[in-house]
Amino acid sequence: MAKTADICLVVEGSYPYVTGGVSSWLQWLIQAMDPLRFAVVALIAEPKDPSQRKYRLPANVVDYRDFVIFDYAPIEKAHRATLSRRHWQQLAPRLHRLMDDWRAGDLGDDSIAFLKELVSPSSEGLLNAFLNDEPAYAVLTQIYEKVRGDAGFTKYFYNFRNIHLIFFRLLTLVGQLPEAGIYHSPGTGYGGLLACLRAALSGGRSIITEHGIYLQEREMELLKSDWLDIPYLKDMWIDAFTATCRWQYNRCDKLITLFQGNRRVRAEYGAVHEQVQVVPNGIDVARFAPARQPRCLADPRQIGLVGRVDSVKDIKTFIQAVAMIRRDYPAIAAMVIGPTEDQPDYYEQCVQLCRMLDLTDVVTFTGRADVLDYYQRLDLVVLTSIKEAMPLVVMEAMASAVPVVATDVGACRELLDGLNDGLGPAGLIARVMDAESVADACLKIIGDPGLANTMAAAGVARIEAFYREQIIIATYKAIYEEQLHGRA
């Protein structure tokens, strides 16, 4: 692992330690891009052992580095740089300009030059001074008066400090990234920021592939959080993430999104519509071809939700919908196909709900299973998630010729209805957290075998036309070539 990489993937909190959509996509991308050489930088919350990795690094990964993002010891323990009052008088306007530029989402030449000074090898001491010197405190109070003068100061101070500690930590990491032609991050956030900073300060190209909408997700998380007990503290974090994302959208050389809807939403957050390229996920269509069968020909009708038992998948709405379907169509069997151990409390609540609704004979929790077997048997796949990007399960169901009922999240509508491709719907869209809407859509499909099979055929046609992995691999290769060539 000593060669220079073509592409450095900067990944936050997922690959290779956590399984999931983004991690699977990254593993697939690295393997598919061979012979391009990859370096992987994992930004993790706490130190981890290599044995904890859930993915084996492909052979074309030539460099791998873990960075504990919340490890502030290098800054806090660094010998504080001695800055004279005069030095601070020169620094203060530059700091103010940098922060103003940052808030505006566009760093000028002066700010970039200043940031370059901050990522020098001895930057820890300087950053320590920015956190602890009295003039730095004066800068903080000036910003406070300008931006949030009515807010409680003590909590503002600690929140401000915590936000900046993370950004300072990222600045210290810029110089530690491996050499590469392209810095690619599967999302904005800290990974994307680090990739863009490295490209902006030390050369190279930056690419961001947004799977979901990072800013929206953080915003939802922060609004629900308990650790921030006052609204303005949440606003401070949201503002920080907004500024960060906006700058990344402006700065990155290529911004890729998975679906058109995402592109529109991203434009609301500041990305220029024309600069965003849509590259969807792809799947191995041939793998699912054996599962294709005529649907809804025999009772009981088999309805499945493929996914882990997790509150974000809103399994409870699915169970309630099953109870409503049974009232009108008693001959049904429902399955939840996926691991149940991620959220044990939630799983227990789901089991109790089944008992309450007298569905113990109807709903089965299969646990982790080979989905291909189930795609062969199912008459309908249901997805009740409250949040998704481009759900693989919908694509797999479509490739297996199973009609789908999905909530109106992420790319579901685009996948099922198509983008004016004339192929017809591959399923029906229901409202989020609306069991009645889900049940109505399911009843329409399972009660009409003709409709079910027409939708199944449309799904197969759409997947084969637009979402085959060969198409996606070719698109990414072209993007990488373009960026690497541009660099040359």
Residues that bind other proteins (CB under 8 A): 76, 132, 134, 137, 141, 144-145, 149-157, 230
Cβ closest to other proteins, residue 104 vs residue 138: 138
What whole-number distance in Å separates Cα of residue 39 and Cα of residue 336? 37
Cβ closest to other proteins, residue 114 vs residue 144: 144
Exposed / middle / buried, residue 314 (Cβ in 10 Å: 0-12, 13-18, 19+): buried
What whole-number distance in Å separates Cα of residue 109 and Cα of residue 102? 12
Q: Whole-number minimum distance, CB 134 to other proteins, in Å?
A: 5
Q: Helix 190-202 to helix 109-118 angle, to the nearest 10 degrees? A: 100
What whole-number distance in Å separates Cα of residue 28 and Cα of residue 24? 6
Cβ closest to other proteins, residue 145 vs residue 328: 145
Cβ closest to other proteins, residue 10 vs residue 228: 228
DSSP codes, 288-352: HGGG----S-SSSEEEEEES-S-GGGTHHHHHHHHHHHHHH---EEEEEEB-S-SSHHHHHHHHH
Q: How far is CA 229 from CA 149, 156, 222, in A?
A: 18, 12, 10
Cβ closest to other proteins, residue 146 vs residue 368: 146
Cβ closest to other proteins, residue 79 vs residue 485: 79
Q: Whole-number minimum distance, CB 162 to other proteins, in Å?
A: 12
At residue 41, the 3 state secondary structure works out as: strand
Q: Are 300 and 276 in contact (CB under 8 A)?
A: no
Q: Whole-number minimum distance, CB 73 to other proteins, in Å?
A: 10
Both tokens of 457, joined, read 């055929």
Q: Whole-number minimum distance, CB 168 to other proteins, in Å?
A: 15
Cβ closest to other proteins, residue 168 vs residue 318: 168
Cβ closest to other proteins, residue 203 vs residue 231: 231
Exposed / middle / buried, residue 209 (Cβ in 10 Å: 0-12, 13-18, 19+): buried
Q: Whole-number minimum distance, CB 137 to other proteins, in Å?
A: 4
Q: Whole-number minimum distance, CB 130 to other proteins, in Å?
A: 14
Q: Whole-number minimum distance, CB 268 to other proteins, in Å?
A: 32
Q: Whole-number minimum distance, CB 77 to other proteins, in Å?
A: 9
